[in-house]
Chain A
Amino acid sequence: MANQAGGGNELLSAQKSSDSGLQIILHPLPILEISDFITRGYQRNFKGAVVGGLLGQQNGREITIEHSFSIKSVKKEGDGGVYELDDEWFRQRLDQMKLVHKSPQLDLVGWYALVPKSGPTVLHLPIHHQISAVNESAVLLGFHLEDMLSPTAGDPLPITIYESNMEAEGEDKEMKDSENPTNMVLRFRKLPYATETGEAEMIGMQFIREGGANASADDAQAETKHIAEQFEQKIAVTDGKGKRRAVMASGSASKNPVSPSKGKGKQKEEPSSSPPQAEPPNPDINLTRSESEYMAALQAKFNAIKMLKSRIALIITYLQRLPPAFTEGKQTTQEASDAARASGGQYTIPSNSILRHIQSLVTNIDLVTPAEQAALRKEMLQETNDVKLISLISDLLTSVTEVKEAGKKFSILDSSRQTRGQRGVGGYVGQMGDRSIDYEFTGTYNTTQLRGHPEFGATGSVSQEFGGASDALYNSD
């Protein structure tokens, strides 16, 4: 019977906030839209209420929140200056939103406002009634600015989603007699929510997230700076842990993609990217564009693996620090948790549900490895082959262009030599005398037949090109 009402907020329900059955799925756009509203509000001295509508889909118990829009609000004179939505404006804007959000069709599923950490206040009630008139089960997304002002560890989102219910007042009391009908009052309850991102959203978010681009007015930097800054930011993180990235040589798929937790001793370093934090000239500027993209992908993977490792470490620490009496089975969970609390942080507090989760996690590890090992290996081989084939094609084409270039230059030289040869009868040999450069064809091209040609003489660069192009072909796998 844990009491969930926080800090004496009478509007928060006295009941537990679990299992109302509604599942909320939050997409990132509304969060950014609210942030945009707030920043704009501060910069333009906005004096009204920060409120808006939430659009999403409602499929049975599942509610998605995908889009949001700001709503014009008016402050009522008297009544302590309570805000209300401008009804006509709201209806028109809602119709417009529904018109353009047709596939999939989105409807009003709730509204957002600035809410103190302790929960919604009476000030939120009028608008909530207005919204509920459109959708009975509208949720309130509360944005907690206090969290942003003094962020807690772990960077949780400063958002709580509340659903509202009509509850009988004073439910904990005994049954009332029929002369005093119970009052139904509005109560808010916290709803757990999950975030979900579609592919396009994820890519958009990464695009926004990357680079140090801020909104300062004199910021007119070219794109190359973004990539460099991105690396500065991320590689600095790497160095903070004393680990370096095992950088791949470009072109070959990684042979050592294990997470850094396993490869502590064997980090390979490419000379071009061994940056201590303080170095101002960024060595990664030398990377070509495709290499930078590859690095970015690697970096993202690295960050994800790091996160995974830290989470696992957290679980392990939790297990390790359980009170020894408990692990040996000598105490019940209740006793152990009391003792652990009393020990003031030395032991972690055992909780049956957490332990059950961990147990299921461990059992589920078995599920991760698919049963059909042979088929999996074959498919992996196929995929690898496809990728290598495409790499080979790419290298081949590059070589072909280089050969083409060389061939073009050669034919220019050749023809100009022939015209010159025709003009000056005797001077030809003289002109050629000091340019009898030995050339070697290291390739297998059909140009070898030209070797024996008496008038032939090429500049060193042409032969170099042929050599380079053929080397590239030989070196690709």
Chain B
Amino acid sequence: MELPLTDKLTSNHLDALYSYTHFSSNQPASHTGDHASKPWVQDPQYFKSVRISPVALLKMVMHARSGGSLEVMGMMQGFIDHSTFVITDAFRLPVEGTETRVNAQGEADEYLVQYLSGCREESRQENVVGWYHSHPGYGCWLSGIDVETQKLQQLQGPMVAIVVDPDRTVAAGKVDIGAFRTFPENYTGQGGAGGGGGDKSVPLGKMEDFGAHASKYYALEVEHFKSTLDNKLLDALWNKYWVGTLAGNPLLTNRDYASSQMKDLGGKVREVVGGSGRQGGGGRLGGPGVAMGGGVSSSKGRSQDLEKIVRDVGQVAVKERAGLMAVEVKEAIFGGLKERAKAGGCGCKQE
């Protein structure tokens, strides 16, 4: 029942993030003491990255997925390692559809308090270090409500907001996740590139909400970690999954997503084209003597949009190519087995 005495299953160096005392002594007394003297209050962009444990990641992804097209929400536990959030666990909250509510926490408070006291009793010392929620299908960024929620959270201590998009995760075959922290009011630093998740852009329908608040927060880098035991178990598990890799048809599973992406991109292209048509004409006419300044700056915005669109289309193309490759591999291996068997004459005896 108890852990046998051995040091072969864990490595103090490689699994250091799993210990707690190692860090709580390092922490600048994050959850106690004078609030204003904390380094993250001094520098709103103090925290640079987030490291997520396998358990926390899987739980968040599965929770997001199980919500379908409804937003789901939960909290994360962990600690701070200098300018990195280390997230060791995550748990769900009984709330749904957080986007439409201003104070999503209100209803879940009782659950949260009870859950956390339970954790203390089973000697899990981690504090809450953030919250996560999902944006099914519309990317990892913070909406206006999210920004307000995160601002409130940050008042209580060092917190990070994580957003997961389960639809894009499944379609892209890669976990679509982002971590953000908001700036205090009247902060004029750079940032705001936090929105849109860098690669994927925001659907037309949500552009306004995204754009209005994009400058109020910044993105942190997301990394994962795993223990030595996890490594061994993952290898063992992989032995069971290769079948799915060969047998799956990604073109089919991602068809809906790819179509919606293309449609969305088509709309954006139309917008950009409509805009730049006017731009181009104005540029040419205003040649001699007219300062090019005005024309250049707004066309710069257009070309940035265009670049984003090109990037997105490029990614869709890559995914589609990979999907086609998968189908062709299937065809090459399994297609025409009957003919090959007859032609090759394997000579199997009938048993």
Which A407-444 residues have C-beta < 8 A from chain B? 407-408, 411-412, 414-416, 418-419, 422
- Interface assignment of B313: CB less than 8 Å from any CB of chain A: yes
| Contact among B7, B118, B325 with A254 in the assembled complex (CB-CB below 8 Å) | B325
Task: Work out how many contacts link A and B, with CB atoms closer than 8 A.
Answer: 361
B237, A401: Cβ atoms under 8 Å? Answer: no
Chain B residues contacting A369 (CB-CB under 8 Å) are: 334-338
| Contact among A201, A214, A418 with B58 in the assembled complex (CB-CB below 8 Å) | A201
| Contact among A50, A113, A201, A294 with B62 in the assembled complex (CB-CB below 8 Å) | A201
Chain B residues contacting A83 (CB-CB under 8 Å) are: 1
Chain A residues contacting B58 (CB-CB under 8 Å) are: 28-29, 32, 201, 204-205, 208
- Interface assignment of B162: CB less than 8 Å from any CB of chain A: no
A301, B336: Cβ atoms under 8 Å? Answer: no
Q: How far is the CB of A112 from chain B (nearest CB, A)?
A: 11
- Interface assignment of A456: CB less than 8 Å from any CB of chain B: no
- Interface assignment of A448: CB less than 8 Å from any CB of chain B: no
| Contact among B115, B296, B316 with A408 in the assembled complex (CB-CB below 8 Å) | B296
- Interface assignment of B251: CB less than 8 Å from any CB of chain A: yes
Q: Bound state CA distance, A29 and B59, in angstroms?
A: 8
Q: How far is the CB of B336 from chain A (nearest CB, A)?
A: 6
Q: How far is the CB of B319 from chain A (nearest CB, A)?
A: 8
Which A172-225 residues have C-beta < 8 A from chain B? 195, 197-209, 211, 213-217, 219-223
Q: A39-B15, A72-B121, A195-B240 are in contact. Are A200 and B325 (CB under 8 A)?
A: no
Q: Assign chain A's interface to a size class.
A: 35 or more
Q: Bound state CA distance, A28 and B276, in angstroms?
A: 51
Which A26-72 residues have C-beta < 8 A from chain B? 28-29, 31-33, 35-36, 38-44, 46-51, 70-72
A42, B233: Cβ atoms under 8 Å? Answer: no
| Contact among B62, B174, B317 with A390 in the assembled complex (CB-CB below 8 Å) | B317
The segment from B142-150, B181-189, B208-216, B280-288 found at the interface with A is B280-288
Q: A49-B1, A394-B316 are in contact. Are A253 and B292 (CB under 8 A)?
A: no
B324, A253: Cβ atoms under 8 Å? Answer: yes
Q: How far is the CB of A343 from chain B (nearest CB, A)?
A: 21
- Interface assignment of B270: CB less than 8 Å from any CB of chain A: no
Q: Bound state CA distance, A391 and B325, in angstroms?
A: 13
Q: Bound state CA distance, A29 and B234, in angstroms?
A: 11
Q: A200-B62, A202-B241, A203-B61 are in contact. Are A99 and B94 (CB under 8 A)?
A: yes
Q: Bound state CA distance, A11 and B309, in angstroms?
A: 64
B236, A387: Cβ atoms under 8 Å? Answer: no
Which B227-283 residues have C-beta < 8 A from chain A? 227-246, 251, 253, 258, 262, 269, 276, 280, 283
Which A266-316 residues have C-beta < 8 A from chain B? 290, 293-294, 297-298, 300-301, 303-305, 307-308
B1, A114: Cβ atoms under 8 Å? Answer: yes
Q: A207-B174, A308-B246 are in contact. Are A384 and B18 (CB under 8 A)?
A: no
Q: Bound state CA distance, A193 and B60, in angstroms?
A: 25
**Other CB < 8 Å A-B pairs besides A103-B66, A259-B333, A384-B324, 18 of them?**
A29-B55, A31-B233, A43-B12, A100-B94, A101-B92, A124-B1, A203-B173, A204-B57, A217-B23, A254-B325, A298-B325, A356-B351, A380-B327, A386-B320, A390-B258, A397-B309, A415-B290, A419-B288
